[in-house]
Structure 1
Amino acid sequence: MAGTAKTAILIAGPTASGKSALAMELARAVDGVVINVDSMQLYRELRLVTARPSAEDEALVPHRLYGCLPASEAFSTGAYLDLVRGEIDAVRADGKMPVLVGGTGLYFRALTQGFAEVPPIPAGIRKQCRMLATEGGIDAVRTELAPLDPEAAERLMDLQRLTRALEVVLGTGRTLADWQADAHGAPLLGPEGLVKLVLAPPRPWLHARIALRAEMMLAPEGLAEVETLLALGLPDTLPAMRAIGVAEIGALLRGHCSREEAHLALTVATRQYAKRQETFFRGQLSDWSRKDPQAQDMASLVREILNDF
């Protein structure tokens, strides 16, 4: 892509891969603004648990769409696209470069490949599906979905997305994948001028960083953050309540496990999530340039990426 005017930098990667630090360095180098593409970092109550950029980081480089929603709000991919469109337009109007970074693969796919507009789901079906999710949990929703949309039932690991898949197939008679295949209109970010990167570190290196992150989440600030969130009394089905760390630290706060058990649970859950992210990126973002963040220092990695400019 050398010689093509660059319109945006996109950085995807599994949790704890160092993508936020890379985004900051690239934004500083190209007079850019960092824009969040992580569904959990949208929530203002969860800074430490979701490894959201610190206040000091946000003071060094402009950041957008971090901590902008209350934990009480359920958020969709379509709603995210509406929000991020305004931010990208504003950044470009200021003559700056959008640097979009995060770990939510569905958001990146929607940004670059388009998003299917599923018709409204009848209220009765939505209520039925959400009641099933609340009362039966992920296993009940998966069991109900399996004969109707076996691919989604096997692939999806998140209760909200499983419930959405069930709503769509019951409400429209078509699977969510069918609707996504019919995504129409130009994607928000056209292919020309995009720098598309996936951080792909070796697993042992990533696992070591995940263990350190679990330790940070169990610091007093992390415990206090989860305690404050739980005190709101929000339904467990909300996305923010399912962020990694909420259930695990909640169990520790209630005395249901030891600190060592909480650390292990956090580490295992985060490793499993990172593996699902990596699988998505390999399958859905296969044409993106893959970078190993541990193979060289940050300055060298930034220089390598900027050689395309």
Structure 2
Amino acid sequence: MSTANSLDAPYDISAGDRPPLALIAGPTASGKSDCAVALAQELERRGRRAVVVNADSSQVYADLTVLSARPTEADMGGIEHRLFGAWDGAQSCSAADWARAAAGTIAQVHAEGAVPILVGGTGLYIRTMLDGIAPIPAIDPDIREAVRALPVAEAYAALLVEDPERAARLSPADTTRVARALEVVRSTGHGLTHWQTQTEGGIGHAVALHPAILLPERQWLYARCDLRFERMVERGALAEVEALLARDLDPALAVMRAIGVPELTGVIKGEWTLQTAIERGSQATRNYAKRQFTWLRHQPPADWHRLQCENYNSNAINDILLRFPG
């Protein structure tokens, strides 16, 4: 049975059937948004309404229309899209924040008799929504401040003593993850592994998941990344960053650290040229795509369909997507 047939099949929640949830994941610039729309349009041709739900950590921000490559009205192809631009940049959207909103949105789509199609490449978002989140108590602010002030080498040395299991799984140079692990064990008395075995709130058990992971040929993907950033600049990315800077937001906010914002900020402040910003932004996009590619290849369950093509194009992928087993 094809994916479209599986998603279109009747189900009865009162009889114990789990409602369907399609998931199309892939690195940035892999064409997953187009695939989601193509699948939704196929379902609607069959008489089943579909709604695309965002799972991209940049596209959640209203301030990042251009730099997140958020779908335009034309890109949406007449399909309803939800959770795109749903957060103001002044408010960070954590994985837990998004997962709660996504779970509610998916439940609402099901209640409307429609099929939700989740699309994005933020692995932490997807994993949190499906598997739940560890119930870690709030971190003591004094402990957080002290830990974040440590050089990463000192923080890692402390973690080796206080939570050696977690330390063994981290790079000694991973400033963010080392600090997080150390502040958790110091604030709660337990390491991250203890809390992660008690995840709660996931919806994976309550839905019939139909996942597909797009893994295009890397050189094709990197060329798309370069072209994408150039097109963003042509479409007004510089003005978008100027508007962000005018809001005088905290530089530590996620929206201010999104790919393209630091690079174009340097242009606005006269620190480097636009061409330099394009080169840096393109490289940052390629680096991000590479990390996503690696995560998506190895971290999701082995039975999630991985769609790999050497001669990669949207028509070929859409054809595979509409045909592969549901």
The answer to whether the superposition gives a TM-score over 0.5 is: yes
* Partner of residue 244, structure 1: 259
SS of 1:200 mapped into structure 2: strand
**1:300, 1:16 → 2: CA distance?**
16
Partner of 1:302 in structure 2? 318
Which one has a bigger Cα radius of gyration?
A: 2
1:113 aligns with one of 128, 131, 137 = 131
SS of 2:237's partner is: helix
Q: 1:88 aligns to what?
A: 106
Cα deviation for residue 113 of structure 1 reads 2.5
Moved more, 104-113 or 90-99: 104-113
1:158-307 to 2 correspondence within 5 Å? 159=176, 164-184=180-200, 187-190=202-205, 193-219=208-234, 221-287=236-302, 288-292=304-308, 295=311, 297-307=313-323
SS at the partner of 1:52? Answer: coil
Unaligned runs of 5+ in 2: 10-18, 44-48, 160-165
Distance 1:247 1:304 in 2: 38
CA distance in 2: counterparts of 1:117 and 1:45, whole angstroms: 30
Is contact 2:31–2:314 with CA below 8 Å preserved after alignment? Answer: no
With the length of structure 1 as denominator, give the TM-score of the two structures: 0.86
Deviations 1:261-304 (A, max 9, x none): 11111111111111111222123114221113663553443343
2:171 alignment partner, SS class: helix
Aligned to 1:99: 117
Tell me which residue corresponds to 1:144: 155
Deviation at 1:32, TM superposition (A): 1.2
Question: Could you report, residue by residue, the CA deviation over 1:87-130 in whole angstroms, capped at 9, with x for unpaired residues?
Answer: 00111111111100111101111223332111222233345456
The question of whether the paired residues in 1 share the 8 Å contact of 2:263 and 2:281 is answered with yes
CA spacing shift, 1:244–1:156, aligned 2, 3 Å: farther
Q: Is the 2:153–2:172 contact (alpha carbons within 8 Å) kept by the matching residues of 1?
A: no
Would you say 1:14 and 2:24 are equivalent positions?
no
Q: CA deviation at 1:29?
A: 1.4
| TM-score with structure 2 setting the length | 0.82
SS class of match (1:273): helix
Between 1:167-176 and 1:280-289, the stretch displaced more is 167-176
1:104–1:152 distance in 2 versus 1, CA, 3 Å: farther
Distance 1:156 1:33 in 2: 41
CA positional deviation for 1:191: 7.6
User: CA-to-partner distance for each residue in 1:12-42, whole Å, 9 max, x for gaps?
Assistant: 1111111111111111112311101111111
In structure 2, do the counterparts of structure 1 residues 221 and 156 end up closer, same or farther at CA, with 3 Å as the change threshold?
A: farther
Change (3 A) 1:48 1:157: farther
Q: 1:35 aligns with which of 53, 60, 64?
A: 53
Q: Is the CA contact 2:24–2:120 (under 8 Å) kept in the aligned structure 1?
A: yes
Which range moved further: 228-237 or 49-58? 49-58
Q: How many residues align?
A: 300
Any idea what SS the aligned residue of 2:236 has?
A: helix
Q: Which residue matches 2:162?
A: none
Superposition deviation, residue 218 in structure 1: 1.9
Q: Distance in 1 between matches of 2:76 and 2:153?
A: 40
The answer as to whether partners of 1:146 and 1:153 remain within 8 angstroms in 2 is: no
